[in-house]
Amino acid sequence: MITTTKPSARTIVTVLVAVFGAMSAARALRPAWEVPTPTEDNLTEERLQDFRDALYFPIREFLAGGNPYDPAAMFAHWPVRQNFNLYQPYHLVLHLPFALPDYRIGAVAFTLASLLLLGVLALLAARNAKMPLVLGTVAIAALLVTSQVGKAQLYVGQVNPLIAVGAAGALMARSSHPRLAALGLAVAWLKPQFGLPLAILLFARGSRRVALGGTAIAALASLPVVALLVYRGGGVGPFLEVISANLAHASGTTYGAVDSMTAQRVDLPAVFFRVTEALPPAAELAALVGVLAVTAVLARKLDRGDQDSRSIADLVTGVGLVVALVHQPGDVLIAVPAMAAVAVVCWRRRKERDWRLAAIALLALLVPFAHLYFVNTAVAGLFGHRVDVTVDGVAIVVAWVLLVVAARRKIA
């Protein structure tokens, strides 16, 4: 006699969510195989623009014997629209396989790798939140590839999924597996605006070996590339001149300047300027020092509490990192594992007033994830482009302030 067992409700839900996620993923992958080969005539193409400007052609310039950090060289030799910012030099070797083949093949391969990394991030988030691992991973992954933050990584070809996995690993493993956490921090150093504040906050929270070890790994990995660029450029002096020109160019662009009304920056000084049209002296330095100091003190004190308090510490760390220094809406991706953990705690302790502020902060953090194309169109149509490029930053800054208040209440 053959017996059959009915699938459980959890299995059915997992399959349905997985199908939904697969459909969203297929839609998010379309730009990679539809994007045209870059030429001088299609520089305004937004699909895979970060892959084009910050990975494929910079690595091609490096392989050709040039210095991709030199804006003049990049604009003269390749069909790029944006300057190659100061990514860690090891980036030019780490992502080398994606720049060796034809552009479209490299774009598709990189996008598939980014999609896989979003899945890994979802796995880390489900584990961090102590959710049912399979269902939690599938659900979070489906939400990520459907959200604006997740889709944007694949649409423009950003490296943030890798950085988010590294940052999550550094925070989650800093006590139990410090060597693995140091490697995660080294990956987060891929973009210094992630690596620097994260290293500072990890050091302040007592994970000194992780902070110093991860920074050392990133430096050692980049040293051979720097040495080669210095040799090619004729010495340290010319190399530093290139770096200075790179910084000057980045600070003067409409997407990178702190006082730009069209920039999508979500850090505190840039958001403050777009809201008030005022920029206090040394605003960026003051924000960096002030936000990191407040975040570090609160996170360190929260670490002395229970696991729920430590989840708030990780979240205020991730969000504080984003509002302290130059960042864009998609960079909040690094806070996803901590968001998942705090969401579960808020639900479990929903009757306790102390957790309501944290829940409101989570809702604010969902704004950039929900800022889909039709929302973008509606907001821009009703309130104008300035509001549209500012709403995400305001929401993230408000979330950080609410988390600070919630943390202070818990400490008190």
Per-residue pLDDT tens over the stretch 135-153:
999 999 999 999 999 999 9
Rounded CA-CA distance 96/106 in Å is: 10
Angle between helices 268-276 and 283-302 (to 10 degrees): 130
Contact 186, 218 (CB under 8 A): yes
Distances in Å between the Cα of 361 and the Cα atoms of 34, 246, 327 are 38, 36, 19
For residue 259, which amino acid is it? D
Contact 239, 229 (CB under 8 A): yes
What are the tokens at 365? 């953090």
Contact 320, 198 (CB under 8 A): no
Q: Report CA torsion sign: 146, 116, 39, 264.
A: positive
| pLDDT band, very low/low/confident/very high, at 255 (cuts 50, 70, 90) | low
Q: Nearest Cα to 190, choosing from 294, 331, 28, 336?
A: 331
Looking at residue 105, what is its pLDDT? 93
Rounded CA-CA distance 149/367 in Å is: 10
The alpha carbon of residue 396 and the mean position of all alpha carbons in its chain are separated, in whole angstroms, by 13
What pTM was estimated for this model as a whole? 0.91
Q: Give percent of the chain above pLDDT 90.
A: 58
What are the tokens at 152? 């944007």
What are the tokens at 383? 């309130």
Looking at residue 335, what is its pLDDT? 94
Rounded CA-CA distance 248/245 in Å is: 5
pLDDT above 70: residue 60: yes
Contact 333, 392 (CB under 8 A): no
| pLDDT band, very low/low/confident/very high, at 216 (cuts 50, 70, 90) | very high
For residue 174, which amino acid is it? R
- CB neighbours of residue 233 within 10 Å: 18
Looking at residue 247, what is its pLDDT? 84
